[in-house]
Amino acid sequence: MRNDTMGIILTGDEKIAPFTNIRANSALPIAGRYRIIDFVLSNMANSGIVNIGIATESNYSSLMDHTKSGKPWDLDRKDYGLQILPPNIENEKYGVIRGNIDLLAGIRTFIHRSTQTYVILSLGNMIYNIDFDDVVKKHIENQSDITMIYRDVTGMSDDNLSRHTLIELDDDKRVRDIEVQPYYPKTTNVSLELFVMEKALLESIIDECSSRGDVDFVKDAIIKKMGGMRIFGYEYNGHFYKIDSLTSYYQTNMQFLRADRREELFNRERPIYTKTKDQSPTKYGDAAECINSFISDGCVIEGTVINSILSRGVKVEKGAVVRNSVIMQDSVIEEDVEISHVVFDKEVVITKGRKLIGQESHPLPASKGTLI
């Protein structure tokens, strides 16, 4: 157990319309029964971190409902545990949240009252399975001011690299340069937007940036001060997924249909926990056909499901065909419907005989409660 380390999770500011209109992006369903935040939260819990704060900018009711007391992650404790930290901008000069520094400034009381020495700060909206205990040990060994977790993604296209923050390292893995979403990438070392540092340093960064009107943790707090700090990289060798658009959200869900990716991300040594629900098993009709699909509890399948992700309580009626799609909770696919490459939010109903076809690069979305 890492009694010397606390965790801070910022839910990110990526907007994935129409799904983030009603929920924080980290509360988006992934792989049927999980949420995006389950991965970083489970990673922290598996590393023995028992003081974790989640700060979100808006639409946090869904996130609060999902995490609640933190029981699935063994964080429902008398001392510390899991805390949801809604935005606090009442006393901020600008009255709006302009960046992640403002979010951190809004939870400075939570940070200050925590007694841990080190902080793991998660800024992004990513999926991975990391041993944070080893990261903190390496941070202490290097006598680092800040440790940045990264992944070398040699072979990734420039277009995809340009979605990320990239870091250049010397032979000792000390960070020499950082570029945020560069148009012409100069390196393939992708930051996972995870940082380890002493709590005192984070407090100093928050206070200094706030007093100067700076708003971005990486651009204003790290890049501008690189020369005066020991910043090292910690290489992560597993797969990761950044969810910053509808396409990346869809494609990340599809990755869970691959057995090798499931085995890596749902590591038995570092399991991923989520909120549990008491629902009956999925019911399959006599004519049901399911091929290479992730189907959650409580579904009723009477039609055909191929290469798709179905959340809890989805109904696929007779003659319906669902291909290459992501269907969220309690949606209904009526008789003789054909859908392919779509992403449905909760409680979407597509009526008898309809046909809806998207593309892998441009899946078709439907917002919560839509009737088609």
How high is the mean pLDDT of the chain? 92
Percent of the chain with pLDDT over 70: 97
Which of 76-90, 103-117, 249-263, 315-329 comes out lowest in average pLDDT?
76-90
Query: What are the tens digits of pLDDT across the range 143-166?
Result: 999 999 999 999 999 999 999 999
CA neighbor of 35 nearest in space, from 247, 216, 241, 274? 274
Q: What is the pTM of this model?
A: 0.93
Fold of 5-265: Spore Coat Polysaccharide Biosynthesis Protein SpsA; Chain A (3.90.550)
Structure tokens at 129: 């399975």
Query: What are the tens digits of pLDDT across the range 330-353?
Result: 999 999 999 999 999 999 999 999
Contact 290, 305 (CB under 8 A): yes
Q: Where are the domains of the chain?
A: 5-265, 283-366
Fold of 283-366: UDP N-Acetylglucosamine Acyltransferase; domain 1 (2.160.10)
Is 283-366 the same fold as 5-265?
A: no
Report the C-alpha gap between 45 and 73 in whole angstroms. Answer: 6
Query: What are the tens digits of pLDDT across the range 59-110?
Result: 778 888 898 889 999 999 888 899 988 766 544 455 577 778 888 988 999 9
Asked whether the predicted pLDDT for residue 238 surpasses 70, the reply is yes
Residue with structure tokens 């946090």? 60
